[in-house]
Amino acid sequence: MAQPVVVKQYIERRPKPKSPYERGSFMMISQRGLSELEERLADRSLGMQAVRVLMAMLNSATYGNLVEASQKDISLRLGMSLSEVSKASHALMDCGLIDRMANRRGWYKINPRLAWKGNVESLEQALKAREAA
């Protein structure tokens, strides 16, 4: 009796393309969120100091959008007074671009509708949690 012939199939595995960005330095930005920012600049609810503070916050955001830099760190980095950074932070909160963390004085999170640092699944969870609140 003849022996069965086993045919193995090989799948070519190509290496995953590497990101041109450094590890952990990529953030998704929403065009709708940028449009909201643009509108706030046009109607003068935000000024350039607030945009500078927002950029510093985006630059220091960790996964899940927690802003890791304190207002003092941001003021030193931008050469602004602490009161200017505080006023800009309040303007950003009033416009809904950042949120204050509950029970954590001086801690902020970037609104996930504007930008997100993390994967798509965690973004969807954050958006659902924000809608439920």
| Structure confidence at residue 92 (pLDDT) | 95
The answer to whether 66 and 122 have CB atoms below 8 angstroms apart is no
Q: Is residue 3 part of a domain?
A: no
**Per-residue pLDDT reduced to its tens digit, 68-118:** 999 999 999 999 999 999 999 999 999 999 998 876 677 899 999 999 998
Q: Would you place residue 130 in the very low, low, confident or very high pLDDT band (cuts 50, 70, 90)? A: confident
Q: Read off the CATH number of the domain in which 117 is found.
A: 1.10.10.10
Q: Is residue 11 part of a domain?
A: no
Q: How many domains does the chain have?
A: 1
pTM for this one? Answer: 0.79
Count H helices, E strands: the chain?
5, 4
Q: Is residue 22 part of a domain?
A: no
Range of the domain at 34: 28-132
Q: Is residue 55 part of a domain?
A: yes
